[in-house]
Structure 1
Amino acid sequence: MAIIDSIRKQIVPIHKEGYIFIAVFAVVALILGWIFAPLGWIGLVLTLWCVYFFRDPPKVVPLEEGLVVSPADGTIASVGPCIPPPELGFGNVSMLRVSVFMSVFDCHVNRAPVAGRITKIAYRPGLFINADLDKASEDNERNGIVIEGLNGRYGVVQIAGLVARRIVCFVALGDSVGIGERIGLIRFGSRVDVYLPEGARPLVGLGGRAIAGETVIADFRTEKPPRSFKLS
């Protein structure tokens, strides 16, 4: 029994959104292998990549009030003032924006950067240019989520990318979310922007790596008490 428990701890959970894609990849791999064996091996590699893409590992989330965690695994693509998308309802005023770019090798489950209540969800169709480009925040298909938190209103924008063609939102208007809780997923390469209320102090820099639900990207606190964490 101890051996079985140890094996279970080593296996990373797969998000249910990925089951159908993994099944399709597996069937295609079998067909390709039946037609020509080397193609079957290529299909197997792609199937394993699909399994890896839809992984949903637990996160160790910091719980102190005033912290903002990354909504996505990936590379920090931008940090600085920017006018939020109009559909979020923040007005024509610049806010601190932190953008996280997810490659096709990053975990794509998105998490809430702060605890609060969902006060708005706004989907906007658009283009599918490279999400690593700054103009992707304006031109690409996106889904905006507004969270009313302790220090004000936060905007979380899921942005489709060059390969991504499906934005999935797990939350609904009026829901309450905890920091680091799952709020959505974007399939196959994308980006998430976070717009922060006044008073946020950014703690990440351009090109840095972030882990969803774990990496603290901003802090509202003037004093720094000892941290506590939860597994999510």
Structure 2
Amino acid sequence: MFHKEGRSIILLTFFGTAIIILLAHFYMANPTYKMLVQGLSLVVLILILQFFRNPKRISNKNFDEIHAPVDGKVVVIERVMEKEYFNEERLQISIFMSPVNVHVTRYPASGVIQYAKYHPGKYLVAWHPKSSEENERTTVVIRTPKFGDILYRQIAGAMARRIVNYAEVGESAQQGEESGFIKFGSRVDVFLPLDAQVAVKLNQKVKGAITCLASVKEKDG
């Protein structure tokens, strides 16, 4: 299954690939060059299809857990000052997505959407320390039953040139359901309360809607 955000690009790439293969077949005399051009065009098509794949995910919804909003690798786990919404220290967990990862964004928790804002910006590489504040990005805040307000931020990278966000203020968010898409390489930051119990490690690979990022801290006694 392919994501709806990629339909036009997939169609254009498919027809472009077909035209290149036909032109190479009829107008290139050198068989080596012909095979090289045709092979490269097929590789591009395969990469585009892989990028826009949308595997079905069934999330085991749990109010006590925050699930990964995207597929990728955990690149940041630290306390930071979140300046856009909370204006206080929060626990930040960041997930970097390479071009080969599934790029569907999913709600990390169930609740009610309190805030959703798009920010135009730069296209620094997604792992740059300032990308969270200076790159093109969309910020969404969900009010949850157990964690209070949590924030996640879709961030464009050097290759990502379009962020798609479906979240709207006042709507209900269901953990694991689609909330957006980021095209071609990117990152998502999640900001949690400082007492959240982290369940992942740096460089760990995670799956959107499946991997638990953090849970409610157990009370002593």
CA RMSD, 1 decimal: 1.3
Q: Residue 164 of structure 1 corresponds to which residue in structure 2?
A: 160
Matched, 1:61 2:63: no
Q: Is 1:41 aligned to residue 39 of structure 2?
A: yes
- 5 Å matches for 1:66-81? 66-81=64-79
Q: Is 2:103 the counterpart of 1:108?
A: yes
- Name stretches of at least 5 consecutive residues in structure 1 with no aligned partner: 1-12, 224-232
Work out the CA distance in 2 between the residues paired with 1:41 and 1:25.
14
Query: How far apart are 1:155 and its partner, in Å?
Result: 0.6
Residue 125 of structure 1 aligns with an amino acid whose one-letter code is: P
Structure 2 CA distance for aligned equivalents of residues 146 and 131 of structure 1: 21
Distance 2:62 2:191 in 1: 20
Question: How far does residue 122 in structure 1 lie from its aligned partner after superposition?
Answer: 1.0
Amino acid across the alignment from 2:14: A
Structure 2 residue corresponding to 1:29, chosen from 9, 14, 17 = 17
Equivalent residues of 1:114, 1:179 under 8 A apart = yes
Is 1:96 equivalent to 2:84 in the alignment? Answer: no
Return the alpha-carbon distance in structure 2 between the equivalents of residues 201 and 221 of structure 1: 5
Give, as a single letter, the amino acid of the residue that structure 2 aligns with 1:34.
Answer: L
Counterpart Cα distance in 2 of 1:134 and 1:124? 17
Q: Is the 8 A contact 2:63 2:144 kept in 1?
A: no
Kept in 1: contact 2:112–2:170 (CA 8 A): yes
> Which one is further off, 64-73 or 106-115?
64-73
Task: Report Cα offsets for 1:134-158 as digits up to 9, x if no partner.
Answer: 2211221100001111121011100
- SS at structure 2 position matched to 1:72: coil
* CA–CA distance in structure 2, aligned partners of residues 172 and 165 of structure 1: 21
Unmatched 5+ stretches in structure 2: 25-33
- Cα separation, 1, equivalents of 2:175 and 2:217: 16
The equivalent of 1:211 in structure 2 is 207
SS at match of 2:82: coil
Q: Which has the larger radius of gyration?
A: 2
Q: Shift of residue 205 of structure 1?
A: 1.2
SS of 2:202's partner is coil
Aligned equivalents of 2:91, 2:164: Cα separation in 1: 25
Aligned residues with identical type, % of pairs: 33
1:126 aligns with 2:107: no
Residue-pair matches, total: 208
How far did 1:198 drift? 3.7
Letter in 1 for 2:64: G
Q: Shift of residue 182 of structure 1?
A: 0.7
CA contact (8 A) 1:31 1:40 kept: no
- The correspondence for 1:84, drawn from 64, 82, 85, is 82
The residue that corresponds to 1:147 in the other structure is 142
Q: Distance in 1 between matches of 2:133 and 2:217?
A: 31
TM-superposed deviation, 1:60:
3.2
Instruction: Verify: 1:181 aligned to 2:181, yes or no.
Output: no
Task: Give the 3-state SS of the residue equivalent to 1:43 in structure 2.
Answer: helix
After superposition, residues 12-27 of structure 1 pair within 5 angstroms as 13-27=1-15
**C-alpha distance in structure 1 between counterparts of 2:217 and 2:81, whole Å:** 24
Deviation at 1:116, TM superposition (A): 0.6
- Alignment TM-score, normalising by the size of structure 2: 0.90
